[in-house]
Structure 1
Amino acid sequence: MRLSNLADYAVVTMSHAARHCGGGRVSAAELAAETGLPVPTVQKVVSKLTAAGLLRSVRGAGGGLQLARPAAAINVADIVEAVEGPIALTACIDGTDCAVDHNCTVKPHWPLINNAMRGALAGIPLTQLAAEKELA
């Protein structure tokens, strides 16, 4: 499984936004500068994260972006789903036609597999991603 570029950028953007917790608000332009991502890309990601309730946008003087809830209450699964929708490793789960659907013995097990994948991503809190790590 490989995340889309937009989901990857959302995780990167949220980890940088979390580093501003307690330090006020941050703009999309500041997040773009910190992450090295283009401003329009960060704006698109921020829009999706705001719509999903992970970021909050405050207008006016002193405005900007801030986490909508504590970083410890946000995880990688939340961020990925904000951009890509529910985590599903196969298309057959959402009713898409499949060439072997008529005799597939694995299809009933995909929800278990998808839940395990979501659980693994949900086990990684944003606080862990926001922590500065020393590069070896």
Structure 2
Amino acid sequence: MRLTTKGRFAVTAMLDLALRQANGPVTLAGISERQHISLSYLEQLFGKLRRRELVESVRGPGGGYCLARAACEITVAEIIQAVDEPIDATQCGGRENCRDESRCMTHDLWTDLNATIHGFLSEVTLGSLIEKQQEKIKRCADTLSIVKDQRPSLLNAH
């Protein structure tokens, strides 16, 4: 199974947007800079995301994009499907013509895998990804505050 750059970038960009939209619309230029994704590629992805009503665009100064629904209502599966990324491990694309015009011996295995992957990605929301990202940031901040200067003090060194 392949999840191409298109699907990965779409999820990454949507997570970036979800993490920052509390301060107002988020620009694609900002996402591009932070995530190292080409601006023109993001424009293509966000056109598809807008058509699927996952994001809304705000025009004018201070414009950009914001989520069209709450982060907890948008699943990773929806994002991937919105950018025309198939979640399919079969060789035949689900058409059951893997071996010429008949199914291959492992067709059902790959079809079951597709269902499992789709089910998993349908359970993961942007909201849950935001929570995980915020926990990582908090752990990093906690780790940094624990580090103390262990060097001997020059004031007490006579």
Q: TM-score range by the shorter chain?
A: 0.7 to 0.9
The gaps in structure 1 that reach 5 residues or longer are none
Aligned equivalent of 1:68: 68
- What SS does the corresponding residue of 2:83 show, helix, strand or coil? helix
Paired residues of 1:73 and 1:125 also in contact (CA < 8 A): yes
Whose RCO is larger (CA < 8 A, sep 6+)?
Answer: 1
Number of the residue aligned with 2:40:
40
CA displacement 1:35-86 (0-9 Å, x = unmatched): 1222112212211211222111122344220001111111111111112344
State the partner residue of 2:16.
Answer: 16
Q: What amino acid sits opposite 1:51 in the alignment?
A: R
The alignment's C-alpha RMSD in Å is: 2.5
Paired residues of 2:3 and 2:87 also in contact (CA < 8 A): no
Runs of 5+ unmatched residues, structure 2? 144-158
Structure 2 Cα separation of the partners of residues 116 and 88 of structure 1: 11
Q: How does 1:1-136 map to 2 (within 5 A)?
A: 1-95=1-95, 97-99=97-99, 102=102, 104-108=104-108, 110-130=110-130, 131-132=133-134, 133-134=136-137
**SS in structure 2 opposite 1:81?**
helix
Instruction: Report the residue type matching 1:13 in the other structure.
Output: A
Q: How far did residue 103 of structure 1 move?
A: 5.8
The percent of aligned pairs where both chains have the same amino acid is: 32
Give, in angstroms, the shift of residue 18 of structure 1: 0.3
Q: Are the equivalent residues in 1 in contact too, given 2:90–2:107 (CA < 8 A)?
A: no
TM-score, normalised relative to structure 1: 0.82
Offset at residue 8 of structure 1 (A): 0.9
**Amino acid aligned to 1:81:** Q
SS of residue paired to 1:92: coil
Q: Return the index of the structure with the highest Cα Rg.
A: 2
Does structure 2 conserve the Cα–Cα contact (< 8 Å) formed by 1:93 and 1:110? no
Would you say how many aligned residue pairs link Structure 1 and Structure 2? 136
Greater mean alpha carbon deviation, residues 120-129 or residues 107-116: 107-116
Q: For residue 53 of structure 1, give the secondary structure of its aligned residue in structure 2.
A: coil
Which one-letter code corresponds to 1:50 in the other structure? R
